[in-house]
Amino acid sequence: MSPPRFTIVLVCAAFLVFAPNACSVRDNGGVIAPVPLGFPDDFPALVDCGGRGAGGVLTGFGGARTDRSNHRPVVLLHGNGTPAQEIWKHYSAWLLEAGYAPGDIWAVNYLGRDGGAENPGAFRNNVNDVRLFIDAVLGYLGVDRVDIVALSLGCHLARGYLLGGTEEGAFDPALRRADRIATLVLVSGANYGLGIGIDDPDWSSASDLFSPDAQNSFIRVDGLDDHTPFSETLRYVTIFSVNDYPQTLYNRLGGGHPSGVANTSMLIGAENIEIGADVGLGYPDTAASDSNFENHPRLVSDPYVFSTHVLAVLRTHRND
């Protein structure tokens, strides 16, 4: 990467502060433990295709197909660092409390069992893992579509699953999965990259992944500009804080995406939800001390954000 040098990582908040206006969720009296890893015995063993966990068996969590509710299954995709069992411990508990069953809640560790930051190549090395996993969940449960909630790098990978991303950093129409996703919730992602001043093509706003000129990219489909393709059947929602970590990096690393987007965590054409500085657990401007980094994982440990926005979105798209 070009100076200033940033390692794009995600760590999990170590504690939960209960917000009284969280409506549908509680803190259950204290710290929530990590989710136990494991899949049902009859779920296929999947081999990690690349990156940090390459060659090992993909780990994560999900419940038996006989232990389902009437909700559509949810796949949770973590970011570049903290593993699924840690970063998604709040959402797993809160989804169960909201009426989901263990067989409805799935997550994968595409960076290995214990996670860790991977740069460069975080998208290219892991998009096949995500495709393999979500396809396996769909087949195992016998359902046509899932909802996806993704954080940070997970937003890249969710969109890569949708659009047919490949390990070469291209998009193959034959690998598209638009008909397999009902709702896509993108939390604090770098949907237009992290600026033109970073030289990792998986994050650079000037790379082919984000190109307005390519035949296919994150914002082009079959030669046409479309930042939210297939939206007639697929609902796009982005959630980010007013002092968002990806946007802070985007500004520092030159910004410059040709779309002129106001925030790299939003998506033109989506339902874009900005969380205010004094809402929920609070999202103050700490750019001078930590680049607003702490606001990043806080979004998925905030019961207000979950109840008011994420759960509300999922509930409006019940199983069909």
Mean pLDDT score of the chain: 91
Does some domain include residue 86? Answer: yes
With left for phi above 0 and alpha for psi between -120 and 50, is residue 231 left, alpha or beta?
alpha
What is the arithmetic mean of pLDDT over 279-284?
Answer: 98
- Residue 13 confidence (pLDDT): 28
CA dihedral 184, 239, 247, 93 (to 10 degrees): -90
Residue 310 predicted with pLDDT over 80 = yes
Helix, strand, coil share of the chain (percent; to 5): 25, 15, 60
With left for phi above 0 and alpha for psi between -120 and 50, is residue 280 left, alpha or beta?
left
Higher-confidence position of 317 and 35: 35
3-state SS assignment for residue 187 = strand
Strand 146-151 to 74-77 pairing: parallel
3-state SS assignment for residue 257 = coil
Higher-confidence position of 18 and 157: 157
Segments forming the whole domain that contains residue 266: 38-316
Does some domain include residue 29? Answer: no
Longest Cα–Cα distance of the chain, Å, equals 53
CA 250 to the chain's CA centroid: 18
Which candidate, 188, 194, 247, 156, places its Cα nearest to that of 2? Answer: 194
Q: What is the C-alpha to C-alpha distance for residues 33 and 202, in angstroms, rounded to an integer?
A: 32
pLDDT digit string, tens, across residues 7-65: 344 333 222 222 223 333 444 456 899 999 999 999 999 999 999 999 999 999 999 99
Which candidate, 302, 203, 298, places its Cα nearest to that of 246? Answer: 203
Q: Which one-letter amino acid corresponds to residue 73? A: P
What are the residues facing 98 on neighbouring strands?
none
Does some domain include residue 9? Answer: no
Which segment of 20-34, 184-198, 222-236 scores lowest on mean pLDDT? 20-34
What's the total number of domains in the chain?
1
Does some domain include residue 265? Answer: yes
Residue where the block lists tokens 């993704």: 150
Strand 59-61 to 105-109 pairing: antiparallel
Does some domain include residue 126? Answer: yes
- Residue 31 confidence (pLDDT): 81
pLDDT digit string, tens, across residues 117-145: 999 999 999 999 999 999 999 999 999 99
Residue where the block lists tokens 């419940």: 63
- Residue 27 confidence (pLDDT): 46
Q: What is the C-alpha to C-alpha distance for residues 77 and 75, in angstroms, rounded to an integer?
A: 7
Q: What percent of the chain has pLDDT over 90?
A: 88
Q: What is the CATH number of the domain that holds 153?
A: 3.40.50.1820
Does some domain include residue 143? Answer: yes
What are the residues facing 307 on neighbouring strands?
none
Q: What is the C-alpha to C-alpha distance for residues 74 and 172, in angstroms, rounded to an integer?
A: 25
With left for phi above 0 and alpha for psi between -120 and 50, is residue 193 left, alpha or beta?
left
Does some domain include residue 106? Answer: yes
pTM: 0.91
Query: Please, what's the b/e burial string for 185-195 (b: 16 or more CB within 10 A of its CB; e: otherwise)?
Result: bbbbbbbbbbb
Query: Where is 296: in which H helix or E strand?
Result: helix 295-298
Q: What is the C-alpha to C-alpha distance for residues 133 and 142, in angstroms, rounded to an integer?
A: 14
Does some domain include residue 234? Answer: yes
- CB count within 10 Å of CB 290 equals 12
Sorting pLDDT into bands at 50, 70 and 90, what band is 316? confident
- Residue 92 confidence (pLDDT): 98
Q: What is the C-alpha to C-alpha distance for residues 318 and 28, in angstroms, rounded to an integer?
A: 26
